[in-house]
Homo-oligomer: A and B are copies of this chain.
């Protein structure tokens, strides 16, 4: 019998991935932080709170003890939000060994430090783990994966053979996994797209249409690509599933928390109230702050991110933010990438 796979975090995505892995023939230990929630999911054979309607098969064992979840496992799938990644890394550290592959699925930066999550994992885990850190990313709403609707993603990592192992455990007829060795690109694309998703949500909340949204998506992808490239990412990654694909799904789907939060902001609700309404983590808010910081650091102009930062953290009226974007001076497409050129790139 094969060793079990550990999935840490029983939110919607952790649950969907545990079910998928079980359908692929693996034993899965699904760790839920909350003891009561753990018992409820286990008794119901369903995660009624975060992934209702999807039956959890017997190959998935719920557990509340992280040591127990990790015993004899070769693969650890982390499905906790960005702000919990360091804590999780510290918790798993005593139990990893040379062959362990760690697969992060969160998309964001660590709050305050603005570190990418693979950087956080590398800070906390032993050196021999560093090559075996992978990231699963791409357009993949848990609700749809739970229903076996066709989905395509990427697995990113520094090591080809680890990435192939991750591809092997996840891939099936409905879940297509591509390998991309540009880890930094996949990480930045997946995180930064949430800034643009908040922005398109705001546009929707203001009552603007599909034309406006498409312009924000296109120009938004251009600016997050510029930032990524300045940190060494491959621009092609941003045109791929982890960039464009995830951006499109996040900006157009009602499953997206970032978009839904943006809609409420566009309708005039204050940020604090929006975040408390959501009841779940809205990664895009923290990511906007990180992106604003990184753009300054790299000297990259990001007009949409800048306006989002002003709206979220300085109370700028969203309608004025859109007007600021639409009334910039005339330009050529693709012109004016860097601060030093003095051009306006939107």
Docked CA distance A213–B221 (Å): 18
| Per-residue contact bits, chain A 124-152, to B (CB 8 Å; 1 contact, 0 not) | 00000000000000111101110101111
Please tell me if the beta carbons of B248 and A171 are within 8 angstroms of each other in the complex: no
| CB neighbours of A236 from chain B (8 A) | 333-334
Copies of this chain, whole number: 2
| A263 adjacent to chain B (CB < 8 Å) | no
Residue among A139, A150, A178, A323 with max Cβ neighbours from chain B (10 Å): A150
Please tell me if the beta carbons of A249 and B210 are within 8 angstroms of each other in the complex: yes
Please tell me if the beta carbons of B333 and A154 are within 8 angstroms of each other in the complex: yes
Find the B residue at minimum CB distance from A150: B212
A117 to chain B, nearest CB (A): 20
| CB neighbours of A241 from chain B (8 A) | 214-215, 218-219, 333
Per the 8 Å Cβ criterion, residues 289-335 of A in contact with B are 322-323, 326-327, 330-334
Interface residues of A, CB < 8 Å — how many? 60
Residue among A147, A249, A322 with max Cβ neighbours from chain B (10 Å): A249
Docked CA distance A185–B296 (Å): 33
A259 to chain B, nearest CB (A): 11
| CB neighbours of A244 from chain B (8 A) | 217-218, 221, 244
- 5 extra A-B contacts, CB within 8 A, seeds A173-B323, A178-B333, A179-B331: A139-B211, A141-B211, A150-B208, A176-B215, A248-B248
A residues near B (Cβ < 8 Å) are: 138-141, 143-145, 147, 149-152, 154, 167, 171, 173-174, 176-181, 203, 208-215, 217-219, 221-222, 225, 236-237, 239-241, 244-246, 248-249, 252-253, 255, 322-323, 326-327, 330-334
Name 19 interchain pairs, CB-CB below 8 A, sorted by A: A139-B218, A147-B209, A149-B208, A150-B203, A150-B215, A150-B326, A151-B212, A152-B215, A178-B332, A178-B333, A179-B333, A210-B255, A211-B249, A217-B244, A217-B248, A221-B244, A237-B333, A244-B244, A252-B252
